[in-house]
A and B are shown apart, each in its own frame.
Chain A
Amino acid sequence: MKRIVIHEEHCIGCRLCEIHCVVQHSLSRDIIKAFKVEQPRVMPRVLVEESGPVSFALQCRQCLEPSCLEACISGAMHRDEKTGAVVCDEARCVGCWMCIMVCPAGAIQQNLNGTRIASKCDLCYGAEVPACAAHCPNEALTYEDV
């Protein structure tokens, strides 16, 4: 399966990955509406971590044996059969945050925009290239078979 590969040495901390993640998961998928009209604004599922000049964009690593999937008390966290991505079924998530507790990468966040569900990367619903990798200006995120 293809994964998003992080090339930390090329990350320039521009956060375009976060911006395009928001657009991709917005209702309109229009960058201006997503930021200026839609409320509450959806959360980015990729986060740029920074320390001095070093930065990298982190999203779910799509573990082969995901701790979040094992820890999920409601069965919301599951592997999508079509895309192979670990995704959260928002209808079943109860917001217990166990997935956040066990995620070794710290790649799951609380979505507190009124829904109280776990927010994580879904590889853009099986898109050819996820939005973060497609829009990274310095190829610090690539989508490859690994």
Chain B
Amino acid sequence: MALSLATPSFIVERDETRCIACQVCVRQCANDVHYYVEADNRVMSDPARCVGCHRCVAMCPTHALTVRTNPLEFRPHANWTASTLTSIYKQAETGGMLLTGMGCDQPYPIYWDHMVLNAAQVTNPSIDPMREPMELKTFLGAKPESLAFEQGDDGPTLTTRLSPQLELDVPILFSAMSYGSISFNACLSLARAARASDTFYNTGEGGLHPDLYEFGPNTIAQVASGRFGVHPDYLNAAAALEIKIGQGAKPGIGGHLPGEKVTREISRTRMIPEGTDAISPAPHHDIYSIEDLRQLIYALKEATHYAKPVSVKVAAVHNIAPIASGIVRAGADIVAIDGLRGGTGAAPTVVRNNVGIPIELALAAVDQRLREEGIRHRASLVVGGSVRNSADVVKALALGADAVYIATAALVAMGCHLCQNCYSGKCNWGIATQDPYLTRRLNPDIGARRLTNLLRAWALEIKEMMGGMGINSVESLRGNRDHLRGVGLNPVELDALGIRAAGF
């Protein structure tokens, strides 16, 4: 076999004065980095296999381990960087597309970090959320043009027919992650946390496992191009439906769940034979126009007796504003937009890193366009694609979102260390894997507790920031771009975001 030019990405450092050769690292590494040499009673490591997931580091009872980026340096070259060279080495060796997981890791501008929030001083009072009510309740769905009342003997009654709404206690939902891309325990953790926090999680395109039907009132059921696991009970079990057109990590690309991950339970849930590849086509083969989309939206509404809001999820791409306008006009109750930095279980690296636009710009463009067209009330706007903390949530709401979708942050709460190897099926944290040795590592009681804690913590912080702005309800924050200012942005970017520069 010819020499491989791949070099280790990491180095594993073991402090021999602290290592007790207990072999926890050996037992915990699915990549077989660590091994025990009985003759010497020593644990050794092969750094070439390390993916930098830190499972061994976190589990080592004596803190004897650390993992560092391999300091190996090529001769400096501004154009031919180390990652460019190593990619070519790999491709020259394998002849294949490079795969990766999670969201885009390239240093594009993160506009959240170039926007700052306002606070009330002197001329308007700030509000102390510990003393006064602070409303985060959010309703997602189409809102009426106006409200009509009829005066009766018992007072007025509403005669306007309201569209179905999703009611959330926090303006944060867990975005789509399928059973298949993540483990059952991860799905169960999300479902339990959604129920405990009065919000929603999303099935992705993986169908709904029979054991998760009890979480139906907190479930958004996705209908994607592969139509996996879609049947009337599935649609009716959920609180809302979502047609997935695109995903921020891989706009225009379909999905592929390899056969080895299609276990008996996944085959049952997805309604495909055990061990066969689950391939989601790039397009929906019945959607080639807004009119076709409208047909599917209304087919789903018909199947669920017009009782559930229907969302359409698209990736943030160049013409996102007119696309969103078309989606609203096609009858969607919710438009979900996933930005460039949105995550995935597997995507071609080149697509993940180069296709799509940042969610901040897409959100601003869509909210502006829908307002100009007078149809903003006809659909709620939910955005995802790297909402990392509560400040990102507040900034997204101020830019015009009704709520945000989080997935990477949710996975991180469950233990994910963003090693970006989800596609390998060897997730040492028991999240992106179906290996029975590994899925046990995520105790759903712990997962749900950590997710619930995360939402609670963010809700507290959101209330604190809103109070500081003198706002006591998310209704008053939504689309309130006057509370945002740009720092370090050029006039074109400020204009695209619809905000003023700091100091003005």
Q: A-side interface residues toward B, CB under 8 Å?
A: 7, 9-16, 19-20, 31-32, 34-36, 52-53, 135, 137-140
Contact = CB atoms under 8 A, between A and B. Distances in A.
Interface stretch (B156-164, B375-383, B433-441, B458-466): B433-441
A19 B446 contact: no
A19 B24 contact: yes
A31 B62 contact: yes
18 contacts: A10-B445, A12-B430, A14-B27, A14-B59, A15-B27, A16-B24, A16-B59, A16-B61, A19-B61, A31-B20, A32-B17, A35-B21, A53-B436, A53-B440, A135-B61, A138-B441, A138-B443, A139-B443
Given A14-B59, A138-B440, 10 more contacts: A15-B22, A19-B61, A32-B17, A32-B62, A35-B22, A53-B436, A53-B437, A135-B61, A139-B445, A139-B446
A36 to B, nearest CB: 6
A11 B443 CA distance: 9
B18 A140 contact: no
Interface string B417-446: 000000000000010000111001101011
Contacts of B435: 53
Q: Which of B59, B430, B437, B443 has the most CB of A within 10 A?
A: B443
Q: Which of A7, A12, A53 has the most CB of B within 10 A?
A: A12
B181 interface: no
A53 B441 CA distance: 11
Contact of A35 (B20, B27, B59, B445): B20
B28 interface: yes
Interface in B399-423: none
A36 B445 CA distance: 36
Q: Does more than half of chain B's interface fall in helix, strand or loop, or is it mixed?
A: loop
Contacts of B440: 9-12, 53, 138
Nearest to A34: B20
How many chain B residues sit at the interface, stated as a range, is: 20 to 34
Contacts of B27: 13-15
A11 to B, nearest CB: 7
Interface string B267-297: 0000000000000000000000000000000
A140 B18 CA distance: 26
Contacts of B20: 19, 31-32, 34-36
Contacts of A14: 24, 27-28, 59
A106 B465 CA distance: 58
A43 to B, nearest CB: 14
Contacts of B23: 15
B61 A140 contact: no
A11 B430 CA distance: 12
Given A16-B24, A35-B22, A10 B443 contact: yes
A9 B184 CA distance: 13
B28 to A, nearest CB: 6
Contacts of A35: 20-22
Q: Which of A14, A52, A53 has the most CB of B within 10 A?
A: A14
A15 B24 contact: yes
A140 B446 CA distance: 11
Contacts of A34: 20
Contacts of B430: 12
A66 B247 CA distance: 60
Q: Which of B22, B435, B436 has the most CB of A within 10 A?
A: B22
Q: Which of B27, B61, B435, B437 has the most CB of A within 10 A?
A: B61
A31 B443 contact: no
A9 B436 CA distance: 11
A4 to B, nearest CB: 16
B162 to A, nearest CB: 44
